[in-house]
């Protein structure tokens, strides 16, 4: 009897092991099928919708793709905005854990958001600028991508909602305060990391030429006619000072850009946030970016108006005006070589004509003047967008963000 019992238990154990292996294989096959099929089902308050299986976004992003087919890939939300979403959502999860968010979920959100901030998930942000004026779809795009990626980090499948895009990733937030916050994070980051260093390099070059040309006397011109003499160094000194003042102007706008709307939620009252959330998240963003972000002094202004962005764009418009003048002066002074002014020798970087051998054109100056024209046009868009802050919410946020960031 004992032998029979042992034999039966051994056979039962073998059957159980076989069953476990079979179930595991079936699970793996099911997982492979779920990613090999073209689509998976995601749901929102409107019901189910089919989403490409290889994409991390969810239902609301998919609906936006179908509703706003304007421009396609050429008109996508700027990458600095996407990266700023990663920074903000990471900081929000960090602060929300202090207020009771499950640490396991919070840590997964932070890890997924970091991937967004590093640009690793850019292919999962397909939405264009032309969408709702509050940027809600892009906020949900970030929420859905981070939620699904966090679910994967925790060992679950996309679409399972083990990490919820609204309840977890968007906790204590509204698109109405989130999008203006990422606008400011993106603008401040681009200005401090790219624009200001480039302008400093240009200023240094012009200042160096001013010293190099200090003993070269030339004719001055007013009304494009000959006037009294000056040195070429003095002329270039004027250019250098224009750039220096431009640097000062854009730097003076940063204190308003460093103010973040986060914590104002829907209309600026802070409904559905914990007390102190706004201060804590601004501090977290400041630590994450090494920039002196603070919570906005007045959340109603931060949601309803984008005067800080208009001001910053205005400083860039002034810089573009300066650079247009400088570039035109330099190319006219280099005109010739036989029948022009011929006072400057410009670098010969490439052939300038398909019909006249040996002709070389001031192409860098021409490119710069076209960039300046684009900046000026962008400022018009930012100005119009900023003037349309009706009641408690400006609904031109995406175009303001796109135009402001394009100028860099």
Among all residues, which ones are annotated catalytic?
Answer: 223, 353
Q: Is residue 138 classed as helix, strand or coil in its secondary structure?
A: helix
Q: How far apart are CA 172 and CA 159, in angstroms?
A: 22
The H or E element containing residue 90 is helix 79-98
Q: How far apart are CA 308 and CA 348, in angstroms?
A: 41
DSSP states along 285-308: HHHHHTS--EE-S-HHHHHH--HH
Apex CA 161: angle with CA 109 and CA 88, to 5°?
25
Q: How far apart are CA 408 and CA 406, in angstroms?
A: 5
Q: How far apart are CA 156 and CA 202, in angstroms?
A: 51
Answer for the pair 51, 41: CB distance below 8 angstroms, yes or no. Answer: yes
Q: How far apart are CA 352 and CA 340, in angstroms?
A: 16
Helices (H) and strands (E) in the chain, counts: 13, 8
DSSP states along 46-66: TEEEEEETT----HHHHHHHH
**Among candidates 170, 45, 168, which has minimal Cα distance to 108?**
168
**Among candidates 236, 243, 250, which has minimal Cα distance to 202?**
243
Residue 76 gets which letter from DSSP? Answer: B
**Among candidates 77, 83, 80, which has minimal Cα distance to 61?**
77
Q: How far apart are CA 316 and CA 374, in angstroms?
A: 11
Q: How far apart are CA 115 and CA 163, in angstroms?
A: 16
């Amino acid at each position: 009897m004992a032998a029979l019992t042992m034999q039966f238990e051994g056979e039962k154990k073998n059957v159980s092991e076989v069953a476990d292996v079979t179930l595991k294989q079936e699970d793996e096959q099911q997982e492979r099928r779920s990613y090999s099929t073209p689509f998976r089902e995601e749901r929102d308050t409107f019901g189910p919708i089919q989403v490409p299986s290889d994409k991390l976004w969810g239902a609301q992003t998919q609906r936006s793709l179908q509703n706003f087919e304007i421009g396609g890939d050429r008109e996508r939300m700027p990458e600095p905005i996407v990266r700023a979403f990663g920074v903000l959502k990471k900081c929000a999860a960090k602060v929300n854990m202090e207020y009771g968010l499950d640490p396991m979920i919070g840590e997964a959100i932070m890890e997924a958001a970091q991937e967004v901030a590093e640009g690793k998930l850019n292919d999962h942000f397909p939405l264009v600028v032309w969408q709702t004026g509050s940027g809600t779809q892009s906020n949900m795009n970030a929420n859905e991508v981070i939620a699904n990626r966090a679910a994967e980090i925790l060992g679950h499948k996309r679409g399972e909602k083990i990490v919820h895009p609204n309840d977890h990733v968007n906790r204590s937030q509204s698109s109405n305060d989130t999008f203006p916050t990422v606008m400011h994070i993106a603008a401040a980051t681009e200005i401090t990391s790219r624009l200001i260093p480039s302008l400093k390099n240009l200023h240094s070059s012009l200042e160096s030429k001013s010293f190099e040309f200090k003993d070269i006397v030339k004719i001055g011109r007013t009304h494009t006619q000959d006037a009294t003499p000056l040195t070429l160094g003095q002329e270039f000194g004027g250019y250098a000072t224009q750039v220096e003042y431009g640097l000062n102007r854009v730097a003076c706008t940063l204190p308003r850009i460093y103010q973040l709307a986060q914590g104002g939620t829907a209309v600026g009252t802070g409904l559905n946030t914990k007390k102190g959330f706004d201060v804590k998240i601004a501090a977290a963003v400041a630590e994450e970016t090494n920039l002196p972000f603070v919570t906005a002094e007045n959340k109603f202004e931060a949601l309803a108006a984008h005067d800080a962005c208009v001001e910053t764009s205005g400083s860039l418009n002034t810089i573009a005006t300066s650079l247009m003048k400088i570039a035109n002066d330099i190319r006219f002074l280099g005109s010739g070589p036989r029948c022009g002014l011929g006072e400057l020798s410009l670098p010969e970087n490439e052939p300038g004509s398909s019909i006249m051998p040996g002709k070389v054109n001031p192409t860098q100056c021409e490119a710069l003047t076209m960039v300046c024209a684009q900046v000026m046009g962008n400022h018009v868009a930012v100005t119009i967008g900023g003037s349309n802050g009706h009641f408690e919410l400006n609904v031109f946020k995406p175009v303001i963000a796109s135009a402001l960031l394009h100028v860099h």
